[in-house]
Amino acid sequence: MTRILLSMMIGVLLLMAQVQAGILIEFRSDEEGTSTVRLQGDWARLESAGEQAYLLMDLKQGKGYVVSPEEQSVLVLDFRAPPGGGLSARYKLPPVRAIKEGRGPRIAGYSTTRYRIAARSGYCFIDYIARDLLEEPGMRRFLALMALVAEFGDPLGDQLPSQQAEQERDTCELAELVMSKRYSRLGVPLRSIRLDGTVTHEITHLDTKTTFPVHLFRLPEGYEHITVEEMMQMMRRAMEAMNHDEESGMPPSIGSGVGSGMGSGTDPGMESLSPEDAAQRRALERRIQREMQEMETEVRKMEQQIQEQLQRLRERQEAQDAP
């Protein structure tokens, strides 16, 4: 009887050792809206409200997987090998100071320290940082990987041929990249505020003592895997096809390059594909078209924001010049 009880106790202990505590993080940002991060063991899962696609992150391997149930596809991202060497290789990062200003408010149940972030000759934003959270299992690795994600940039938008040349970036935007590499030492940023009072990022709920079903962190079977390089090649072909059509005065031909894969049939690669592969190819091409449309929308939004910023600068200058 004693041996039976001992065996049962050992089994329970082994089972408990296999169940790893998870961390649930809910946050909102001024750009992405509300999002949720589930962190457990070597994996993290990030979901945004209103989006079917989600991001799985392998903390151990430094890789990300953008899973699209709608397209049944997975975009593979190697955060440790960013295209072009990463944003730091393309932009001159400014010197950044994190000035400790004392105790901050309690956020999501945690004490914080207030830091004023300065770059070059001006202040950029204020961070409220919780250092105690660094002791939670996996948190340092998650922050380190998020720094790699920031360095990686937009895997599609930042790497388009039209954006390969050196571009000017806002100093404070580059300061965010610099700070992302320091959080694994300073602590977890629970709230970030611009100097005009706009909250750009805030953790609204945090639970460090939960567990999640293992299947949430598994890649779905049967999905097509595609790399950033393969996606970019298809997008380049689509852009070349659109440019050719514009120069010839013809409407865009969705059959040449990236489109629906139907119509003119000028893509010789489609003829050699099986019906199943051709269907997956067409689904992927439709997805790329949507991605390009979304990028065009983002560019228009950025142009509008720039105009608004210029208008505010003009009004500020006029106020300073006024007697």
pLDDT in tens, 97-147: 999 999 999 999 999 999 999 998 689 999 999 999 999 888 888 898 888
Task: Report how far residue 177's alpha carbon sits from residue 158's, in angstroms, rounded to the nearest whole number.
Answer: 15
CA–CA dist 140, 277 (Å, integer): 41
Residues 26 and 172 occupy one common structural domain: yes
Check whether residue 106 and residue 172 sit in a common domain: yes
Is residue 16 situated within a structural domain? Answer: no
In a domain, 170, yes or no: yes
- The helix, strand and coil proportions of the chain, stated in percent and rounded to the nearest 5, come to 45, 25, 30
Reported as a single tens digit per residue, the pLDDT across 227-281 is 878 877 777 776 676 666 566 655 554 444 333 333 334 454 555 666 666 666 6
User: Does residue 318 form part of some domain?
Assistant: no
Question: Residue 2 and residue 270: Cα distance in Å, rounded?
Answer: 68
pLDDT for residue 31 is more than 90: no
107: which DSSP letter? B
Question: What is the mean predicted confidence (pLDDT) over 2-18?
Answer: 35
For residue 269, tell me if it sits in a domain.
Answer: yes
Among 217, 244, 271, the domain-final residue is: 217
In a domain, 97, yes or no: yes
The per-residue pLDDT for 1 is 43
- Average pLDDT over the chain reads 76
Task: Look at residue 165 in the predicted model and tell me its pLDDT.
Answer: 36
pLDDT, mean of residues 300-309:
63
Both 111 and 259 in one domain: the answer is no
The answer on pLDDT for 96 being more than 90 is yes
Domain limits at 111? Answer: 21-217
Residue-level length of the chain? 323
The answer to whether 49 and 33 have CB atoms below 8 angstroms apart is yes
Q: Tokens 């990062």 correspond to what residue?
A: 93
Give the other-Cβ count within 10 Å of 2's Cβ: 6
1 lies in some domain: no
* 64 lies in the same domain as 182: yes
- 217, 245, 263: which is the final residue of a domain? 217
| pLDDT for position 5 | 33
What single DSSP character describes residue 194? E
Whether residues 178 and 229 fall in one domain = no
Same domain, 91 and 129: yes
What is the predicted pLDDT for the residue at 141? 84
Asked if residue 167 is part of any domain, the answer here is yes
Same domain, 239 and 195: no
**In a shared domain, residues 105 and 201:** yes
Residue that terminates a domain, selected from 189, 217, 245 = 217
| One domain for residues 244 and 301 | yes
Please tell me whether residues 233 and 192 are part of one structural domain: no
Same domain, 85 and 141: yes
C-beta separation of 293 from 276 below 8 A:
no
Q: The domain that contains 72 carries what CATH number?
A: 2.50.20
Residue 290 scores a pLDDT above 90: no
The reported pLDDT for the residue numbered 6 is 33
Higher pLDDT, 79 or 319: 79
Domain count, the chain: 2
- Specify the 3-state DSSP secondary structure of 84: helix
Check residue 279 and give its pLDDT. 65
Residues 208 and 234 in one domain: no
pTM over 0.95, yes/no? no
166-193 confidence digits (pLDDT tens) = 345 688 888 999 999 999 999 999 999 9
